[in-house]
Amino acid sequence: MSKIQNFKSNFVLIISFLTALLFMYAASSKLIDFENFRIQLGQSPLLSAFAAWVAILVPVIEILIAIVLFIPKFRFFGLLSAFALMMMFTAYIYIILNFSAYIPCSCGGILEKMTWNQHLAFNLIFVALLAVAVIYGPINYKNRGISPTMNTKRKIWVLIITAAVGSTVVVMLFLLSENIIQYHNNFTRRFPQHAAQERYKIDLLYNSYYFAGTGNGKIYLGNRTAPLLITIIDLKTKTTTSHKIILNQTDLPFRVPKIRVFNQNFFVFEGAVPYIFKGSISNWIATLKINSGTRFSQAEPIDSINLAVRYKSPQSGENLLGILNSSDSLTVRYAPDILQKQMDGVFDTDGSLHFNTKLNKIVYVYRYRNQYSVTDRNLVLQYRGNTIDTISRAQLEIAEVGKSKVTKLVKRALVVNKSSVVSGNYLYVNSLLPGQYDAESVWKNASIIDIYDLTKKSYQSSFYVYHIKNKKMRSFIVVDNHLYALINNHLVCYEFLDDLIPKN
């Protein structure tokens, strides 16, 4: 045997053993910490929809290839298979770095300490070594007149075709996974690494606050125990001031007034009476605008005069949406076809009403099912979207009670979307249902916020808002690239990083 042939033989042997060692270690690492590996794949932006079977298939293939590499008769095919698998891993990392909405955490094992770019470089080196080993490696079949030169050319073409097929498979998995995640309710969340970070918290002393609005670099808080007190937090200085709202009429049957701040105006209302006051934030004095008409259960200002409201139909008692002109209680535009009845038209259509100032859209998010509706400011339906969970029908048990046949819930209902807000192009939903690859430990310590792009009608990503002293987030609001949450007696600020929400 010549020196060149001896070098080639030793090179093939060394690369075969190194690759077998790498694959055996990688496979054992995945199997030892299988649940964590499966969760990481479930949160991958490329393979979320196929995590269940990929988590099993990958370590099994790695072990089989490692075994084949130790058998001289099949070593060439083992090297070619290893080359194909490493090409698929390399294509996966390249797509993650260049086309993914976010970059997930590492896969663990020997490469855990590497960055994704270092991981890519490592893979490319191994791909090159395996390619050379395939070219140098003998094929165990009789040479039927094939010259060594032609044999090498064929090997190169086999390598090219193998690389192309492997890369294409990864691209197809990525595209199929995207389609399943977005449109077929696979209920797999994506958690970009460190995408939302807590920046600070403010002790409010009490836990009775709620969000009344934002604007002018400030957050406005109402207080359930002091209904006419408005607290203002300056987001720049972090200072807090309070004002007592003065109403020009106080002989109404007040119960639990609510406050909404919109631009330079604010509204004080109570739909069960019903009444609506309106005033300016310059002096916090409000004038009565409406004290009669149809009762309503929710109201959101859409400009200085009109409010989107959720009414109780006088005829059926079911929920329906409408637009109320605060200067004339008789000027109401009803939209009876927006809310879709499944059972009683009351509990099954319960949800949260929002107005998106940037998109000039009204958004209604159902509480007990995976659906939201988007309309224009005149309540003309634009489209119906779905949250990523699989509860398409409200799971409720309802019974009529008493002679008046008032409907009530027989038992606690399954809440799908606890609360939600809209900001910019996005809808943020605090979901109460765990996804199939969500870590159970996280649900014990954090609330989950899912993000949906209202312009693309698609799920974007998710992130955590952690409990404080075992107290969950009560409500939240989003201002630009910050989320503010009310947790126990604190206002907590989270900042969104680039991986969470793409810049528009």
Predicted confidence at residue 440, as pLDDT, reads 76
Query: Strands 372-376, 361-366: parallel, antiparallel or unpaired by DSSP?
Result: antiparallel
Q: 24-28, 111-115, 141-145, 317-321 — which is least confidently predicted?
A: 141-145
pLDDT-derived band at 143, boundaries 50, 70, 90: very low
Summarize the confidence of residues 111-128 as an average pLDDT: 82
Q: Is the peptide bond before 274 cis (omega within 30 degrees of 0)?
A: yes
Report the SS3 class of residue 43: coil
Cα-flanking dihedrals φ and ψ of residue 322, to 5°?
Answer: -160, 170
Say what angle helices 3-32 and 34-42 make with each other, to 10 degrees. 90
Does the pLDDT value for residue 144 go beyond 50?
Answer: no
Predicted confidence at residue 396, as pLDDT, reads 82
The one-letter amino acid code at 234 reads D
pLDDT-derived band at 183, boundaries 50, 70, 90: low
pLDDT-derived band at 298, boundaries 50, 70, 90: very high
**Which domains are delineated in the chain?**
3-183 (no CATH), 196-496 (2.120.10.30)
Show the tokens assigned to 293: 């008409």
Predicted confidence at residue 146, as pLDDT, reads 45
- CA geometry: angle 404, 409, 412, nearest 5 deg: 165
Q: Are 374 and 382 in contact (CB under 8 A)?
A: yes
Q: Are 429 and 450 in contact (CB under 8 A)?
A: yes
Query: Per-residue pLDDT tens for 392-439?
Result: 898 887 776 655 566 776 667 888 999 999 999 999 999 988 887 787
Does the pLDDT value for residue 156 go beyond 60?
Answer: yes
Summarize the confidence of residues 203-230 as an average pLDDT: 94
Query: Per-residue pLDDT tens for 59-92?
Result: 999 999 999 999 988 898 999 999 999 999 999 8
Does the pLDDT value for residue 148 go beyond 70?
Answer: no
Average pLDDT, the chain: 85
pTM of the predicted structure, to 2 decimals? 0.73
Higher-pLDDT residue of 247, 73: 247
Summarize the confidence of residues 229-241 as an average pLDDT: 94
Show the tokens assigned to 40: 């990481």
Show the tokens assigned to 257: 């007034």
Closest CA to 166 of 97, 98, 83, 87: 87
Does the pLDDT value for residue 302 go beyond 60?
Answer: yes
* CA separation, residue 258 to residues 28, 227, 271, 378 (Å): 58, 7, 9, 24
